[in-house]
Amino acid sequence: MVDWNDCQKRLGVSFRQDSLLEMAFVHSSYLNENPGLAGYSNERLEFLGDAILNFIVAEKLYKEFPELPEGNLTEIRASLVCRDTLAEIASSLKLGDWLLLGQGEEASGGRERPSNLANAMEALIGAIYLGQGLARARRFVFRQLKPRLDKIKAGKRVPNYKALVQECVQGQKKTTPVYRLAETAGPDHSKQFTVEILVEGKVVGNGTGKSKKAAENQAARAAWGKLRSSHG
């Protein structure tokens, strides 16, 4: 049984009704295995939280960096609201401890799955907005993003090209980019990986690195340059 009072204390939030907070952690697999339960999964709150998060971050960047053009603001925002960032923050907050999962999802490592953690983070933001209002949601978001915002202000930011490519492709094509391992070369101790990014079956970028992640980042950087130039 989840202690929602302990959850609120550890997260530094306060809800009049635990049901709203609880909904932020209900994975669809939990409802599928418990059909008699009333209520929804966290997907609707995730939808709302995603919109609230993007607005809060966009507003903050617009005010904090009056000298930056739209393209740079888009790059920074994408790095702050992407799945990897949200999953890292959610992991640091131990949101996985409170996820309500079906047995299959639990057994397959669902509490540590980045997509589940990122979704729970967005759903939590949506719940805070509904339960406490925009000002509280804004304070919660800034508290979590402060270390990253401080690095941006200090000029130590590195664009998240994977997030930028995903945002661009989803906005333009209503689909998601696919990363495909094209080649692996070299001995075991010094392998080189080549990754391609495909959009609607067409290669839009490729990159090489000593790990799949590094190759994906290089491919995303190449794809972002091509996508950005093609759309002005």
Note if 50 is an active site residue: yes
- Alpha-carbon span 13 to 137, nearest angstrom: 9
The three-state (H, E, C) secondary structure of 70-82, written as one string: HHHHHHHHHHHHC
User: Which residues neighbour 20 within 8 Å (Cβ) at sequence distance 6 or greater?
Assistant: 127, 130, 131
CA distances from 168 to 78, 125, 133, 231 (A): 10, 24, 30, 10
Note if 70 is an active site residue: no
- Alpha-carbon span 132 to 32, nearest angstrom: 29
Which of 46, 75, 105, 122 does the annotation list as catalytic?
122
Type of residue found at 165:
V
Joined tokens for residue 230: 């093609």
- Alpha-carbon span 125 to 115, nearest angstrom: 16
Which of 22, 50, 196, 216 does the annotation list as catalytic?
50
Residues with a known catalytic role: 50, 122
